[in-house]
């Protein structure tokens, strides 16, 4: 007779299981958010598992250089050196640390020993990712030893040195002890931490004991798995035939058929599904071999007797025949030595329904065993528990399919609420009740909420629901729909949500778009709040869209025509307008006619008297009346005159100013041509203003107009704009300013002014 025995402690260890569960949770979160999840290195040493995660969207990378800035990266169970966390911080990555707690403990021991000036010896494979991470925590004091020969080779580094020894979690105890003994031969100051994982020890011990009793050992694991390879080595010491397989397809069934006692062990990275498939494949093969055409009637008769004597166990689902029906219970023949009793209290009945009206003798009925003896010699059955089991299956299916179910909140408990789906009770944590902070869960009691199932443990009768996950999913669906309805050029209604120095964020129906400060008004703004208010409803134009990055750029000023495009509709030469003084220069003042449209009042057009200093006549923010003298559409300049709106015969206040120094006619801007308006600037960071353009290009005026104060008495700096290239070069050399040989006049002036400042 052939037997197949599975060793204890086979399959996922705690650390691997934790990493796989964490990866599944984070991958689901990333899918809901429409982002990617990256894993630094293979999640576990199993191609089937990593392949399944890859199909669901997880991206495995070799290093952080392959990860885009701001992305989420999973640190697998093997752990990483400190340098990885530092690099992630520099790239502003979100790290999800799924390092096995036992591995984290070794990192701590290694770092602590290194800080105490001790040599840290790591017994393990130097190329294994776990060992690489521990080496990083130990720093320059780290030394890796994979066998006693490595210890001999490093004798000079160990000789009479204080040494702390740790182990890779998956190595054999035999190898660790042999290496420790060799290290002790070189130094007496040795502190040993046996950090081989307890689960690894138990797995290796169980595999060894089973191999001693088996004719054939089948070890299940990935070829790249270190702990699986060590299981093979251990089994080969006591069992003549050992097969190392990754899955059921690797099984050489013609070889397996030769053995009667077969043992099965599995590495820490082998999922339960593959272990079951391997055992089932071997079992099916044996079943086929054992089938015969002849039937032993006596054997069949004995089986029937044994069946009648055997009582169904608790939790077993049975089918039997109704032999008696009363108003309070049903008696059921189960085909064994005891009858089953199904009380009315264990049935799901509508109001006023009677058992005698629903069932009769001879009916077939299915129920679940809740007690093998009710105290009166009967088996106690339940229809409720059976239906509950069906509902658990529905909950489990909803978990796998990510289907939405409706759960009713029945009571508030510490940390959340209890909600029921049919006969199944589940817990909704406070943080999962809504997509915002919930002060009290009392308001949700009695409500039926659409939820996602996030965890199921039927063995412990536990389920966890999340209403927040449903709300987030709906929000992302809505956002996706909004993206499909928007187009560049559309004008949509939005609500101003918040300000920054560079603009305002506007909600356009579920999506936030950026209204840059330069796109709010045709005029210049120092802060968005000069033109907008929080909560204000505005119509904005979509300027650009990037769905991949989730960014939308908006414009407000585009809803009104650019001032110069319609200037003839509002202004003409000879018009008298009202405006606000926005800037004062030595040669004139700029008056804002409307946002984005300024005119220049030259110093000679401020008053009928001679004005030496404009700031004595006008102030920033002052409202003035001015006459339009000229509109230069080609150069986009407007020339204004305040004095043309004043009575020339009105008495003028006398001024007592010293006679200005004589200046050349070349230094005086032309009153008729020094007119300007601001041209819209797309980039707000540049401080190029229209008045600087006017100052740079203002031509000569007649000598009757006094020169601006650029060349004040006592200043040793000439008017640079009046100097020729050679004169500029000579002046720069005198001041010790270096200029490029091929610089233009304008570039030379700009560099000299910057150096003098």
Q: Tell me the C-alpha distance between 530 and 519, whole Å.
A: 13
Q: With the C-alpha atoms ordered 36, 40, 41, 47, is the resulting torsion angle positive or negative?
A: negative
Q: Which two tokens stand for residue 668?
A: 């005086």
Q: Answer whether 242's CB lies under 8 Å from 264's CB.
A: no
Closest to 56 measured CA to CA, from 27, 25, 91: 27
Residue 130 a catalytic site member: yes
Q: Answer whether 544's CB lies under 8 Å from 502's CB.
A: no
Q: Answer whether 269's CB lies under 8 Å from 12's CB.
A: yes
Q: Answer whether 628's CB lies under 8 Å from 572's CB.
A: yes
Closest to 8 measured CA to CA, from 180, 203, 169: 203
Q: What is the dihedral of CA 68, 74, 79, 80, to 10 degrees?
A: 10
Among the options 65, 80, 87, 130, which is catalytic?
A: 130
Q: Tell me the C-alpha distance between 412 and 651, whole Å.
A: 86
Backbone angles phi, psi at 55, to 5 degrees: -65, -30
Q: Tell me the C-alpha distance between 413 and 403, whole Å.
A: 26
Question: Please, what is the angle between helix 725-734 and helix 745-756, to 10°?
Answer: 20
| 245 DSSP β-pair partners | 220
Backbone angles phi, psi at 112, to 5 degrees: -65, -40
Q: Count the alpha carbons within 13 Å of 220 in the hemisphere toward its beta carbon.
A: 27
Helix (H, G, I), strand (E, B) or coil at 440: coil
Our CA angle for 139, 144, 150, nearest 5°, is 145
CB burial of residue 144 (10 Å; 0-12, 13-18, 19+): buried
Q: Tell me the C-alpha distance between 161 and 152, whole Å.
A: 14
Q: Tell me the C-alpha distance between 282 and 253, whole Å.
A: 7
Helix (H, G, I), strand (E, B) or coil at 406: strand
Closest to 368 measured CA to CA, from 313, 310, 316: 316
Q: Answer whether 140's CB lies under 8 Å from 102's CB.
A: no
Question: Please, what is the angle between helix 47-55 and helix 14-33, to 10°?
Answer: 10
DSSP-assigned letters across all residues of 443-501: GGTT-EEEEEEEEEEGGGTEEEEEHHHHHHHHHHHHHHHHHHH--TT-EEEEEEEEEET
| 142 DSSP β-pair partners | 120
Q: Answer whether 383's CB lies under 8 Å from 342's CB.
A: yes
Helix (H, G, I), strand (E, B) or coil at 159: coil
Q: How many CB atoms lie under 10 A from the CB of residue 570?
A: 12
Q: Tell me the C-alpha distance between 102 and 18, whole Å.
A: 12
Q: Tell me the C-alpha distance between 381 and 696, whole Å.
A: 99
Q: Tell me the C-alpha distance between 724 and 726, whole Å.
A: 6
Q: Which residues are catalytic?
A: 130
């Amino acid at each position: 007779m052939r037997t197949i025995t599975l060793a204890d402690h086979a399959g996922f260890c705690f650390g691997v299981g934790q990493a796989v569960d964490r990866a599944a949770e984070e991958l689901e979160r990333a899918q809901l958010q429409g982002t990617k999840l990256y894993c630094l290195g293979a999640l576990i040493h199993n191609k089937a598992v990593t392949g399944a995660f890859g199909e669901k969207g997880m991206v495995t990378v070799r290093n952080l250089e392959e990860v885009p800035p701001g992305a989420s990266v999973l640190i697998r169970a093997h752990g990483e050196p400190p340098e990885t966390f530092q690099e992630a911080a520099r790239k502003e990555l979100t790290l999800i640390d799924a390092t096995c707690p036992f591995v984290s403990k070794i990192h701590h021991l290694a770092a602590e020993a290194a800080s105490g000036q001790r040599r840290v010896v790591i017994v393990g494979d130097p190329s294994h990712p776990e060992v690489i991470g521990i080496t990083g925590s130990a720093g320059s004091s780290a030394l890796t030893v994979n066998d006693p020969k490595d210890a001999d080779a490093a004798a000079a580094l160990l000789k009479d040195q204080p040494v702390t020894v740790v182990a890779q979690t998956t190595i054999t105890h035999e190898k660790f002890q042999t290496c420790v003994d060799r290290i002790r031969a070189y130094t007496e100051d040795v502190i040993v931490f046996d950090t081989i994982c307890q689960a690894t020890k138990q797995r290796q011990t169980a595999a060894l004991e089973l191999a001693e009793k088996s004719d054939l050992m089948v070890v299940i694991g990935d070829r790249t798995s270190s702990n699986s390879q060590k299981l093979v080595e251990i089994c080969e010491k006591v069992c003549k035939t050992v097969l190392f397989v990754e899955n059921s397809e690797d099984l050489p069934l013609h070889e397996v058929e030769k053995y009667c006692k077969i043992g099965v062990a599995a590495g820490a990275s082998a999922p339960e599904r593959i272990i079951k498939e391997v055992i089932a494949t071997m079992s099916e093969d044996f079943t086929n071999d054992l089938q015969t055409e002849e039937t032993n009637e006596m054997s069949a008769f004995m089986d029937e007797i044994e069946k009648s004597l055997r009582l169904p166990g608790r939790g077993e689902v049975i089918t039997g025949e109704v032999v008696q029906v009363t108003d309070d219970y049903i008696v059921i023949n189960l085909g064994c030595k005891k009858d089953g009793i199904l009380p009315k209290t264990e049935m799901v009945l509508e109001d006023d329904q009677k058992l005698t009206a629903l069932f009769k003798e001879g009916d077939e009925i299915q129920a679940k065993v809740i007690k093998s003896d009710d105290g009166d010699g009967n088996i106690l059955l339940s229809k409720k528990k059976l239906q509950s089991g069906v509902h658990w299956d529905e909950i489990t299916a909803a978990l796998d399919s990510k289907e939405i179910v409706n759960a009713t909140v029945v009571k508030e408990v510490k940390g959340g609420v209890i909600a029921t789906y049919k006969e199944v009770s589940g817990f909704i944590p406070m943080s999962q009740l809504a997509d915002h902070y919930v002060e009290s869960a009392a308001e949700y009691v009695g409500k039926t909420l659409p939820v996602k199932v996030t965890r199921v443990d039927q063995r412990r009768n536990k389920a966890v629901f999340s209403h927040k996950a449903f709300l987030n999913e709906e929000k992302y669906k809505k956002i996706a729909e909004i993206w499909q309805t928007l187009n560049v050029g559309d004008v949509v209604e939005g609500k101003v949500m918040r300000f920054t120095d560079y603009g305002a964020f506007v909600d356009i129906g579920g999506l936030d778009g950026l209204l840059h400060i330069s796109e709010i008004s045709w005029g210049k703004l120092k802060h968005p709040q000069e033109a907008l208010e929080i909560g204000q409803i505005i119509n904005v134009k979509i300027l650009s869209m990037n769905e991949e990055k989730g960014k939308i750029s908006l414009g407000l000023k585009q809803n009104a025509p650019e001032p110069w495009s319609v200037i003839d509709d509002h202004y003409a030469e000879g018009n008298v307008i009202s405006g606000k003084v926005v800037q004062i220069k030595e040669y004139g003042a700029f008056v804002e006619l409307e946002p984005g449209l300024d005119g220049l009042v030259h110093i000679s057009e401020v008053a009928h008297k001679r004005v030496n200093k404009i700031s004595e006549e006008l102030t920033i923010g002052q409202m003035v009346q001015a006459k339009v003298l000229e509109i230069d559409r080609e150069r986009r300049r407007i020339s204004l005159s305040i004095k043309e709106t004043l009575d020339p015969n009105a008495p003028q206040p006398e001024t007592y100013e010293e006679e200005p120094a004589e200046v050349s006619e070349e230094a005086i801007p032309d009153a008729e041509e020094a007119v300007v308006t601001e041209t819209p600037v797309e980039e707000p960071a540049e401080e190029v203003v229209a008045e600087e353009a006017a100052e740079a290009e203002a031509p000569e005026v007649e000598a009757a107009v006094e020169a601006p104060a650029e060349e004040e008495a006592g200043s040793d700096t000439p008017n640079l704009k009046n100097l020729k290239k050679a004169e500029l070069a000579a002046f720069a050399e005198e001041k010790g300013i270096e200029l490029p040989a091929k610089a233009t006049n304008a570039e030379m002036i700009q560099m000299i002014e910057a150096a003098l400042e």
